[in-house]
Amino acid sequence: MNTKVRLNRLFAGDGRCVNVAVDHGFFGEYPFLEGIESMPQVVTRLAAAQPDAIQLTLGMAPLLQALPGRHKPALVVRVDTANIYGPEVPAQAFNYLVAGAVEQALALDAACLCANLFQVPGHPEIHAQCVANVSQLKPECERYGLPLMVEPLVFAPNPKGGYASDGDLRKIMTNVRQAVELGADVIKADPCADLAEYGRVIEVASGCPVLVRGGSKAPEAELLQRTAAVIGQGAVGIVYGRNIIQHPAPTKIVKALMAVVHANSSPDSALGLLA
């Protein structure tokens, strides 16, 4: 089956997408629960803001799909969970794929799946596990016309403990290209240290649409400027989580980000929507 049918639900008519990630509870870290303690309330509020998509786990996806009406955001389902986001480096790192991921996503009428492709210092087995997960998902997704979003993330040791995102352009490019080679229909990638060079990430993706990950929290002005910069370099959208769900006014920041992504609003103009 052709994945285009569901990709048309994920992306707006202009070919761009604002996807709000609310899958943080899946990773078993208490700080990640900030702002999303009551998921029914969070999902209802975010859906009212009308982003293009909301990214949830299989356990939380029914909250979105139970909302009445035809015009709610598309559902992206996270289908793997890892233990590498904590303040301490785990003795035994993992990234596990849920059982029956494709069938469960289809039953929830998802528009897309999302799975990781990690590069973690000192843990090559995690990368191997991710490659196996994506390789397993790809033919199943193709069989049912379900797009596969791959999240190629490169980590570096964090001086404060655990891991942090590595902004090395070459590492990001390499991991993104491997995700595309494995058959990704959509890429969710980190920004690089110098956003003026992000076009090189878009180039190695070779036509596969790239959505840029938000990562840790940033000031509003910086977030909007970063968003405009990656869109200007050829990214087709964003996948932001904590910068939205932990914002004092999640609905307003969604609308500001939508203005930058879909209306090519300047960061300053979009910032005015938060006033």
Number of folded domains that form the chain: 1
Q: Could you tell me which residues come within 8 angstroms of residue 68 by beta carbon, excluding any fewer than 6 positions away?
A: none
Residue closest to 120 by CA, chosen among 129, 112, 111: 129
Looking at every residue in the chain, the average pLDDT score rounds to 95
Counting Cα atoms < 13 Å in the Cβ hemisphere of 197 gives: 10
Q: Could you tell me which residues come within 8 angstroms of residue 193 by beta carbon, excluding any fewer than 6 positions away?
A: 167, 168, 169
Instruction: State the Cα–Cα distance between residues 246 and 74, nearest whole angstrom.
Output: 21
Strand 53-57 and strand 74-78: the pairing is parallel
Q: Could you tell me which residues come within 8 angstroms of residue 62 by beta carbon, excluding any fewer than 6 positions away?
A: 108
End-to-end Cα separation, the chain, in angstroms: 46
Dump pLDDT digits (tens) for 158-200. 877 778 889 899 999 999 999 999 999 999 999 999 999 999 9
Per-residue model confidence (pLDDT) at position 90:
84
Per-residue model confidence (pLDDT) at position 217:
82
Range of the domain at 68: 4-274
What's the CATH number where 237 sits?
Answer: 3.20.20.70
Question: pTM for this one?
Answer: 0.95
pLDDT tier, 1 (very low <50, low <70, confident <90, very high otherwise): low
